[in-house]
Amino acid sequence: MAMSRVAKLFVVFAIYCALDPFNHSSISKFPDFKTYKIDMPPLSALPKERDRDNLLQNSEIRFLNEVQGPESIAFDPLGRGPYTGVADGRILFWNGTRWTDFAYTSNNRSELCDTKPSLLDYLKDEHICGRPLGLRFDKRTGDLYIADAYFGIMKVGPEGGLATSLTTEADGVPLRFTNDLDVDDQGNVYFTDSSSVFQRRKFMLLIVSGEDSGRVLKYNPVTKETSTLLRNLQFPNGLSLGKDGSFFIFCEGSIGRLRKYWLKGEKAGTSEVVALLHGFPDNIRTNKDGDFWVAIHCHRNIFTHVMAHHPIVRRFFLKLPITVKFQYLLQVGGWPHAVAVKYSEEGKVLKVLEDKQGKVVKAVSEVEEKDGKLWMGSVLMSFIAVYDLP
Ligand SMILES: *[C@@H]1O[C@H](CO)[C@@H](O)[C@H](O)[C@H]1NC(C)=O
Ligand SMILES: *[C@@H]1O[C@H](CO)[C@@H](O)[C@H](O)[C@H]1NC(C)=O
Ligand SMILES: *[C@@H]1O[C@H](CO)[C@@H](O)[C@H](O)[C@H]1NC(C)=O
């Protein structure tokens, strides 16, 4: 079993080497590029729960080729949608009949942003076209809050159109890779900035580097100020408030764990690790019961584990003559597959759903539960997968 996976990796390695020789331009723009140790827990400490039935393979593929790289999925306060942010920088709305353009984040869109041959091709113009990641509706006002990877935290009214900027920096440090957010009932926005060094289009360098300039921040709508709640994080990613608003949980990407930050009560202002994850997490979303669905791009394996502890090995592999796609396979977690895990607010694993072979669903970015269905988006899929909960 283990051997066949290794064999598979080598075949893929050979194909990628043949197709697309390495291009040094990405790393050469960062002369000080360094790799850091990632203090990952031992493999034996990772959760043992698995989905032996590969239940995610029963998901329905919807909107095939109508949505490119849907990252976050949201429904408005009237239950309409989904709304999703796609690779070309638009936020689309499914009105029940068809997809319509709802909103966008860049005031400088042009033909540059139009459809491209593959999902990875969009990366190079994202800083011009925008890349909406986390989406959340304010249930009271119907405003949509957007974490745009390049333009920071933005907001657009229920009628859509060009979003307006709420914040682009904190403590004098610009937001560089705004990733996910949640909004409380006073309009405070809690959000993650995955790195102060690398933009999203350099995500591979961020992953390989393991650097710790990521932050968790808060935007206050009354003072219009942004404050830093936590700093020195390695690739903080998804963030979701608990049902009663007394805390939020966010994903620490590089290490692969969930951390809870208290907003109210005697622990207010402190945080604690509540769970170790199966692999590399993306977004986290609360369901109506107050449980949390965590979208996990891929499992940790022995190989990625060794890489985490040995920054020199990661750097060596980055310099190999291979493409971003293969770097991803190598450095993030092997064959693209899907894992969705439901946690209690105390960090207990409640349910694990997988597609181990990536036959139907791959590299899930978000799992949004609504009316007994899980809606799954991914920056690497050209569709939305919908799974019926039993
Ligand atoms: C490397 O990529 C840059 C831009 O991404 C391009 O201008 C250059 O021609 C490429 N070099 C090779 C050797 O493919
Ligand atoms: C959805 O949008 C299309 C095109 O704008 C429109 O023709 C259709 O009536 C809309 N459907 C609903 C249910 O609003
Ligand atoms: C607007 O986009 C063009 C490319 O389409 C780019 O050259 C220009 O720098 C952008 N302007 C601003 C202000 O970002």
Task: List pLDDT tens digits, range 359-369.
Answer: 999 999 999 99
Q: Is the residue at 114 inside a domain?
A: yes
Of 125, 173, 126, the C-alpha closest to 149 is: 126
Starting at the edge strand that comes first in sequence, how are the strands of the sheet with 83-85 ordered?
73-74, 83-85, 90-94, 99-104, 161-162
Answer whether 23 contacts ligand 1 (Cβ < 6 A): yes
Its domain, for residue 351, covers: 33-298+335-388
Using one digit for the tens of pLDDT, what is the confidence trace for 27-71?
Answer: 656 667 888 989 888 888 999 999 999 999 999 999 999 999 999
| Distance from residue 1's CA to the centre of ligand 3 (Å) | 50
Distance (Å, whole) CA 34 – CA 205: 9
Using one digit for the tens of pLDDT, what is the confidence trace for 166-213?
Answer: 999 999 999 999 999 999 999 999 999 999 999 999 888 898 899 999
Answer whether 29 contacts ligand 1 (Cβ < 6 A): no
What letter would DSSP give residue 40?
Answer: P
| pLDDT-above-90 percentage for the chain | 74
Asked whether residue 4 carries a pLDDT value surpassing 60, the answer given is: yes
| Distance from residue 25's CA to the centre of ligand 1 (Å) | 7
| Distance from residue 203's CA to the centre of ligand 1 (Å) | 18
Q: Is the residue at 6 inside a domain?
A: no
Q: Is the residue at 27 inside a domain?
A: no
Instruction: Among the bound ligands, name the one nearest to the CA of residue 99.
Output: 2
Mean of the pLDDT values across residues 373-377?
A: 98
| Distance from residue 128's CA to the centre of ligand 3 (Å) | 6
Q: How many Cβ atoms from other residues are within 10 Å of residue 214's Cβ?
A: 27
Q: Is the residue at 24 inside a domain?
A: no
| pLDDT-above-70 percentage for the chain | 91
Answer whether 111 contacts ligand 3 (Cβ < 6 A): no
**What is the reported pLDDT for 29?**
65
Q: Is the residue at 8 inside a domain?
A: no
Q: Is the residue at 62 inside a domain?
A: yes
Domain count of the fold of the chain: 1
For 334, the token pair is: 């092997």
Answer whether 107 contacts ligand 3 (Cβ < 6 A): no
Q: Is the residue at 106 inside a domain?
A: yes
Task: Name the more confident of 314 and 294.
Answer: 294
Task: Name the more confident of 118 and 4.
Answer: 118
Asked whether residue 142 carries a pLDDT value surpassing 90, the answer given is: yes
| Distance from residue 208's CA to the centre of ligand 1 (Å) | 21
Q: Is the residue at 327 inside a domain?
A: no
Answer whether 112 contacts ligand 3 (Cβ < 6 A): yes
Task: Write the CATH number for 260.
Answer: 2.120.10.30
